Structure 1
């Protein structure tokens, strides 16, 4: 199996989705924004998807999406970040038009949100993960999204390993990151035991427009000893063990789960300023996993 469903409840959900046609075949393109065809290989089939259908204001399905909360005591999520992640609908919910919206917002003036670098976090946001529910070993992850941009923002679509190791030995694949005031640029990066933080191995893709203007399909093909990043079906980076400082530090032959979040502030990319527009919304049309 290329997709691992960890909980029995998730397995039951997959059966239900197949009955309704949600996970049994690739959904039709959405007419409103001209969704491109999937660039999954012809031998791949759709193994799992969340199309985020449901009424406005409903929280994402908690049989799949685990909402992480707070501002970690250890360096504010590793980056001295200034957001406090919540499970409030204001920070993550469906919009009623087939999208999940993850929103970073200024915190209420009297909020008490413990933060690593300041007494109370000045922003709230959301961080959703499929850890313990859905994981990919071999195949393709596609996320169609409109990613916010602005000084001090760090929205991300990414994956972490399920091998039980401490990061960076855990392994991390950044499917798409948009950093601070670089609105036209998306970054794809891998992190592992000898290549992490500023030594992560990756590349940049020029969208030709701000990432918040239009939907794009951000994808990673995760194959044995090869990872390929693409945007709208255009490959821009392939990584193999031979590209690492030590080929023995390849840690990606394992199940990896998906994460979606919008961070604000921190060492990278710095703090929001007067030019940053809130709410800063990552609008996700779908998350799909393909395999054979």
Structure 2
């Protein structure tokens, strides 16, 4: 996700005061059909240890791992996005995290969605990240699985660094392409470097794929279904951001500068379905 200039002005919610926010099932969360096909990844890698995972097997989101961010931010979270983020758009179903984007009026916006973060709860430096997920689809739909530097509150964006493990832009035959990008600050200005991979057939909404990065003190590599499609050399001093700790953000944006707005072809609700997130580090 780009242009996060206004991150510090957003509301962070920790422990919620009412049951309906903690348990979206109590708000009538829609039970959806979860695909059974797709790629899986191993539980172990040679020379590495699983240091953290969330398999989303409970009935509610683990507040030891995640916090909801709410609202519509400033200038649509810095990207002119159209959604209002609510905890009620997050649910756990059959061992999967489901984030739902809906066309409904709330908080002065025409759409709602959810955005969850591990800030202050789970942060990491280096390792292999595997996220098994199914994407939503449709013009104006913008799902992302990404990371921000844990020192954001001190140095702000983009100096904290940003690692986009997976972004997909819906509509206009773009739903077959995964984007992997980093953002940082160079000479006081925003810099970025990204790559992408297009499936030979089908879309990222058809079935599960595994989105990965392999990150160490010298490089970040992006993979889909264990196939590398992008890499950056992070050894230059100007990329020191990527030798520090990061936290996770999972969300679906609706509209925004990159995807454009939904149109008559966009159907709602749309769902980002995450089977698991796992982090392995060298022994």
- Fold match by TM threshold 0.5: yes
**What's the C-alpha RMSD, in Å, of the aligned pairs?**
2.2
Query: Take 1:39 and 1:226, find their aligned partners in 2: how far apart are those partners?
Result: 23
SS of alignment partner, residue 227 of structure 1 = strand
Instruction: Normalising by structure 2, report the TM-score.
Output: 0.81
Q: Which residue of 1 aligns with 2:150?
A: 162
Q: Given the superposition, is the C-alpha separation of residues 171 and 278 from structure 1 closer, same or farther in structure 2, using an over 3 Å criterion?
A: same
Q: Which residue of 1 aligns with 2:79?
A: 79
- The one of 185, 209, 222 equivalent to 1:193 is 185
Q: Which residue of 2 aligns with 1:128?
A: 116
Contact 1:83–1:121, Cα closer than 8 Å, also in 2: yes
Correspondences of 1:20-169 after superposition (within 5 Å): 32-33=36-37, 35-38=39-42, 41-55=45-59, 59-73=60-74, 75-88=75-88, 91-95=89-93, 97-108=94-105, 111=106, 113=107, 120-163=108-151, 164-169=154-159
CA shift, 1:63, in A, is 1.4
- The one of 255, 274, 277 equivalent to 2:264 is 274
CA shift, 1:42, in A, is 1.2
Q: Larger % of strand: which?
A: 2
Contact 1:175–1:189, Cα closer than 8 Å, also in 2: yes
CA shift, 1:49, in A, is 0.9
Query: Take 1:147 and 1:135, find their aligned partners in 2: how far apart are those partners?
Result: 24
Q: Which residue of 2 aligns with 1:28?
A: none
The answer for unaligned runs of 5 or more in structure 1 is: 1-30, 114-119
SS of alignment partner, residue 141 of structure 1 = strand
SS of alignment partner, residue 249 of structure 2 = strand
Q: Given the superposition, is the C-alpha separation of residues 184 and 121 from structure 1 closer, same or farther in structure 2, using an over 3 Å criterion?
A: same
Q: Which residue of 2 aligns with 1:13?
A: none
Query: Take 1:37 and 1:218, find their aligned partners in 2: how far apart are those partners?
Result: 10
Instruction: Normalising by structure 1, report the TM-score.
Output: 0.78
What is the number of equivalent residue pairs in this alignment?
243
Output one character per residue of 1:100-128: Cα deviation in whole Å (capped at 9) or x when no partner. 000000114xx4x1xxxxxx211000000
